[in-house]
Structure 1
Amino acid sequence: TNWKWGKTPINILMLSIAYRGIGIPFFWVVLDLEGNSCANDRIDLLKQAIDRLKVEKIEVVVADREFVGTKWFGFLVDQKIPFAIRVKKNFIVELGDGS
C-alpha cells in the first residue's frame, strides 16, 4: 500500500490472511521508499509468516501484478508455496520444463 500524508510517502508492505472473505492484516513492514517493494522485502516478510505459521499452513499467496520477478517466483517455488499472481498481458512466463 502506497499513500502520501501531505508530502510524506507512506509505503506499507502487508501480508494478510483471508478468512471468510475478509483480509486480516497479519504481518507488515513500513518501507522507506516510494513505489513497489523489491523481492527481498517480500521474501523477508513471508519468511516471518512461515516462521509463525509453518509453510504447510499457507494454501496460496495471492498478489497483484507488481509482485513479480525471478527471485520472488523462485522463492515461492522453492518453498512449494502455491501462488496466484496477476500479470500484465505481455508478461512472459516460462515453466521449468521450458514451456
Structure 2
Amino acid sequence: MVPTPKSHSRPVKQRLIAKITTVLQHVPLVGHLSRQKFVAQFVIGLIKSRNVHFCEVAQHLNDAAKPTSNETRIQNFFRDVELDYLVLVQLLVSLLPATGKLRLCLDRTEWDFGQCQVNILLVTVGCGAWHVPLYWELLDNRSGNSNAAQRIAVLEACVALLGRERIGLVLGDREFVGHVWLK
C-alpha cells in the first residue's frame, strides 16, 4: 500500500482554510494569523450557506463550536476589525480570470434596518455564473432610484479598479435608463 501524502488525508475544508490563510498572509487585509484563519472559515461559511446572514454562516463556521458561539465570534470580528475594503476588492478581483471581458451588474436595493432605511447602489463583477460585489455606495435619499451622477460615480470607480478594456458588458434593470450616464 502506498502511503498518501499528509495533505490528502486532511478534510477538504481544512485544506481550503489553509490555502485561503496562505493567500491572506500576502494581502494586508487582516494582520493576525488567527484573524486570517477566521476570514478563511468565514469565506467557506459564506459559500456553504449561500447566505450572508451571520446566523446562517455560523452554522458552517467552526464545527467544533456551537452555532451561537460562532455567531458571537462573527459579530465580534466585524465590530473589532476595521477592514480596508479597497484591499478586499483587489483580492476579489484577483480571483477573477486574468484575461477576457468581465460583466458588471448594477442594482439598487433598499431595506429597513430597525428604524433606519438603507438604500444602496451596488455593482457586481463577474463572468459566467458567478459574481462578486465590486463597489457600492449608500444613497442619501430615504428611498427611490439613484440619479445619473451617482451611477456615473460608481461606474468610474469600477473602471478605475478594473480598467476600461476589461469591461465587456454593463447590465442593469429598467430603473437604470438614460443615455447621459451610460456614455
Q: 1:24 matched to which residue of 2?
A: 132
Higher relative contact order (CA 8 A, sep 6+): 1
Decide which of 101, 106, 119 is 1:11's aligned counterpart: 119
Q: 1:81 matched to which residue of 2?
A: none
Q: 1:51 matched to which residue of 2?
A: 160
Deviations 1:13-66 (A, max 9, x none): 111012331221011111111111001001001001111211111010010000
Q: Which has the higher strand share?
A: 1
Q: 1:40 matched to which residue of 2?
A: 149
Instruction: Give the AA of the match of 1:26.
Output: L
Q: Residue 171 of structure 2: SS of its match in structure 1?
A: strand
Moved over 4 A (4+): none
Deviation at 1:4, TM superposition (A): 1.5
Structure 1's unaligned 5+ residue stretches are 76-99
RMSD: 1.3
Identity %: 38
The TM-score normalised by the length of structure 1 is 0.68
The structure with more radius of gyration: 2
Does residue 65 of structure 1 match 2:164? no
Equivalent residue pairs, number: 74
Q: Residue 66 of structure 1: SS of its match in structure 2?
A: coil
Quote the Cα distance in structure 1 between the aligned partners of 2:144 and 2:114. Answer: 16
Q: Which has the higher helix share?
A: 2
Quote the Cα distance in structure 2 between the aligned partners of 1:70 and 1:7. Answer: 36
Quote the Cα distance in structure 2 between the aligned partners of 1:31 and 1:12. Answer: 6
Instruction: Give the AA of the match of 2:122.
Output: M
Quote the Cα distance in structure 1 between the aligned partners of 2:167 and 2:179. Answer: 21
Instruction: Give the AA of the match of 1:11.
Output: N
